[in-house]
Amino acid sequence: MKLFTITAALMVAAAASPVLAHWEYTQWGMTAEQVIAASGSKARRCR
């Protein structure tokens, strides 16, 4: 039972962590080039 409690607590903590998607420069409909320009070249194209 103790193992279950620890496992459940770790799962809740992992689910509550912030998403690291870095969407702060984007809006719907923007192209990759527009996002890069809006971020001051901090964003980069994925391969």
pTM of the model: 0.50
10 Å Cβ neighbour count for 39? 14
* pLDDT, mean of each 10-residue run, the chain (47 residues): 88 69 84 92 85
Residue written as token pair 């998403």: 19
Place of tokens 């719907």: 28
What's the pLDDT score for residue 17?
61
Closest CA to 30 of 19, 20, 43: 43
